[in-house]
């Protein structure tokens, strides 16, 4: 971790992407901290790489599950728009 080695500053949850064995991109989070001896000299560092692919998949599933019924408004004009949106969507499919 060149940035940590150069600055000695910890890194917390830095988003990154790596390739797995199959060549597929995998989202990860990197955290790193310096290991220092008593005189505060850096003698090494520890790194944690966390696989975020499951979290990304769950986010995608959540986004798919929202429907027009999940949108809420008390404004009468917005409610009218909600009422005509299915007709607009049907028209666009034709």
Model confidence, pTM: 0.55
pLDDT digits (tens, 9 = 90+) for 15-34: 999 999 998 889 999 999 88
- Give the domain ranges of the chain: 1-51
Model confidence at 1, in pLDDT bands (50, 70, 90)?
low
**Predicted confidence (pLDDT) at residue 38 exceeds the cutoff of 80:** yes
Q: What does the alpha-carbon distance between residue 14 and residue 29 come to, in Å, rounded to a whole number? A: 5
| Closest to 15 in 3D by CA, of 29, 3, 31 | 29
Write the class of the CATH domain 1-51: alpha beta
pLDDT digits (tens, 9 = 90+) for 60-88: 888 776 666 667 788 889 888 888 888 88
Give, in order, the Cα–Cα distances in Å from 75 to each of 68, 72, 88: 15, 9, 20
pLDDT value of residue 92: 85
| Closest to 25 in 3D by CA, of 17, 35, 34 | 17
Phi-psi map region of 40: left, alpha, beta (phi>0 left; psi -120 to 50 alpha): left
């Amino acid at each position: 971790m060149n940035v940590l080695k150069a600055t000695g500053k910890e890194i917390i949850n830095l988003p990154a992407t790596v390739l797995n064995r199959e060549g597929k991109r995998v989202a990860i989070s990197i955290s790193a901290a310096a290991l220092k001896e008593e005189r505060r000299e850096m003698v090494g560092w520890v790194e944690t790489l966390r696989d975020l692919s499951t979290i990304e998949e769950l986010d995608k599933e959540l986004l798919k599950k929202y429907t027009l019924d999940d949108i809420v408004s008390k404004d009468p004009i917005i409610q009218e728009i909600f009422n005509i949106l299915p007709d607009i969507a049907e028209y666009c499919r034709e």
